[in-house]
Chain A
Amino acid sequence: MAEVGLKLAFSLAQIAVVMGVVMLTVMFLTLAERKVLGWMQDRMGPMEVGPYGVLQPIADGLKLFFKEDIIPAGANKFLFSLAPILALVPALIGFAVVPFGPNETVELFGVQFKPFVISDINIGILYILAFTSIGAYGVILGGWASNSKYSLLGGLRSAAQVISYELNVGLAIVGVLLLAGSLSLVKIAEAQSGWFWNWYIFAPPFPQIFAFVVYVISAVAETNRVPFDLPEAESELVAGFFTEYSGMRFAFYFLAEYANMILVSCIAAALFLGGWNAPAPFLQFHGGLAHLAWLSGTFWFAVKVYFFLFLFFWLRATLPRLRYDQLMRFGWKVMLPIALGNILITSIAAYLFPR
């Protein structure tokens, strides 16, 4: 009995730490994005709150909390309140299976637990795909429940886009799954240890570089980021599906967007870039210095995730938005065939040269 209680306590502590880190990252991602975009465009970004504007996210949060919360008269009140939560929660749930560090088991007070993954379930990646597709409901319902034509159009655009690109994300991942022979993110990341050419992006027998490109592009599209931010498209349309939202509900959509960004970056790092593995074995601490091994693991994982997050900003600073038909054509006529072809070649290669 005591063992179950302890296990529960450990899990709760892990969840609290992960949520804390994710929320903190989300908060400061909003600042980082504005800063990086500013720097890339010869501006300074936020400068007023705190030294060099570092306290800006806190000021933004306070502002959003104190804003008037409006529910339009014709809206479906229940769904209107539910939609932002439906958008945010799936994005956060996905972190349960992400391995943030080495797959080691630690014994504390007579209970075994894995410090760097909340729950190592053997269908981890399926679980994430399933939950992120629920996130689309948040966007669609948000557009529909506000009872505004423009919001509905935004939501519909988003639905079509998310479905098209969700498909490509799924297919791009299949190559890696074929090579790894497992759906567990922990196992997949573990299989890429050693030098960086063991990472699935470079791995023999068939490097998943095409799948990686498809995955990254589709991930950008799925998180509704520039250049695929058609659900929002605030400069051309009436600010997309969240037109009628205000205050904290509005913020939830953005928290969801940023949490999703972190999540897809984590998946990309774990699947293609070797997860917590360092590019070279000697950069990863092993054995005696157990604590250093953990630290180096999380360090390399964080480096990869932050690289992806930077890529998101970088793309946003560079690219203009795609037109809707271009977006659909690109998804179905370019990305989908590449992903399918990659699966074909990978399965043949994996059959001919089993690892």
Chain B
Amino acid sequence: MRNLKTWFKTIIFYEILVGMKATLTHLLRYKPITLQYPHEKRTLPDSYRGMLCLLRYDDGTEKCVGCDLCEAACPSRVIKVVSAEVPGEPTKRYAKRYTMDMTRCLFCGLCVDACPVDALGMTREFEWAVYDKRQLLLNKEQLLAIGDRSFPVREKKLELQHPNVAFFNVAFKHMPAKEG
């Protein structure tokens, strides 16, 4: 009996008819879930990881000290840093050239984590479609510009800096300050 039933179902293409009924119900109760992207945009979550940028201190100087750690941390070799001494100040270094090839970036954020001075940040920009791939090879000025427009107000961190780590933007709270 049961066999007969399955046979009958096979003959009339029962499964296919069930599927076709499902698609037809969707057609009749048509309710699109489409977001018409360029016209409407969804609100991004706060933790969204978009375009990378370089940040500045409040006084407008660059945070990056050209330590190359981001380059080392990047799994897809996006970043290229050429560092140099600040003329006249042998202890200070800066990134003379800093390029990011965003065509390869997978927005993992490892470089941001790796940076000891918080010089890198991730913005919520995502509309970076271009006609020429070469436009995605960003240099330092472009990355700083992105930072400037994404973070116009920076946290005041200069004062928090520990004198021992003069160029690091991290407050080393557990370390006693050097006398004098």
Binding site for B on A (CB under 8 A): 36, 38-44, 47, 314-315, 317-319
Contacts and interface: CB of A to CB of B under 8 A. Distances in A.
A320 to B, nearest CB: 9
B36 interface: yes
B20 A314 contact: yes
B19 interface: yes
Contacts of B44: none
B33 interface: yes
B23 interface: yes
B23 A40 contact: yes
15 contacts: A36-B27, A38-B32, A39-B27, A40-B26, A41-B26, A42-B31, A43-B34, A47-B36, A314-B20, A314-B23, A314-B24, A315-B20, A317-B23, A318-B19, A319-B19
B22 interface: yes
**Contact count band on B:** 10 to 19
A27 B46 CA distance: 45
B14 to A, nearest CB: 13
Given A38-B32, A44-B36, 13 more contacts: A39-B26, A40-B26, A40-B27, A41-B26, A42-B30, A42-B32, A44-B32, A47-B36, A314-B23, A314-B24, A318-B16, A318-B22, A318-B23
Nearest to B17: A318
Given A42-B33, A44-B32, A319 B26 contact: no
Nearest to A320: B19
Tell me what chain A mostly uses at the interface: helix, strand, loop, or mixed: helix
B20 A39 contact: no
A315 B21 CA distance: 11
Nearest to B26: A40
Interface of B: 16, 19-20, 22-24, 26-27, 30-34, 36
Contacts of B30: 39, 42
A27 B1 CA distance: 50
A314 B24 CA distance: 8
Given A36-B27, A39-B26, A44 B34 contact: yes
A319 B32 contact: no
Nearest to A311: B20
Contacts of B27: 36, 39-40
Contacts of A319: 16, 19
Contacts of A317: 23
A31 B92 CA distance: 63
A41 B32 CA distance: 8
B26 A42 contact: yes
A273 B67 CA distance: 79
Contacts of B26: 39-42
Nearest to A41: B26
Given A318-B19, A319-B16, A319-B19, A43 B24 contact: no
Query: Which 6 A/B pairs are nearest by Cβ-Cβ distance?
Result: A40-B23, A44-B34, A318-B19, A317-B23, A44-B32, A318-B23
Contacts of B22: 318
Contacts of B20: 314-315, 318
B22 to A, nearest CB: 7
Contacts of B31: 42
Contacts of A314: 20, 23-24
Contacts of A315: 20
A14 to B, nearest CB: 36
Contacts of A47: 36
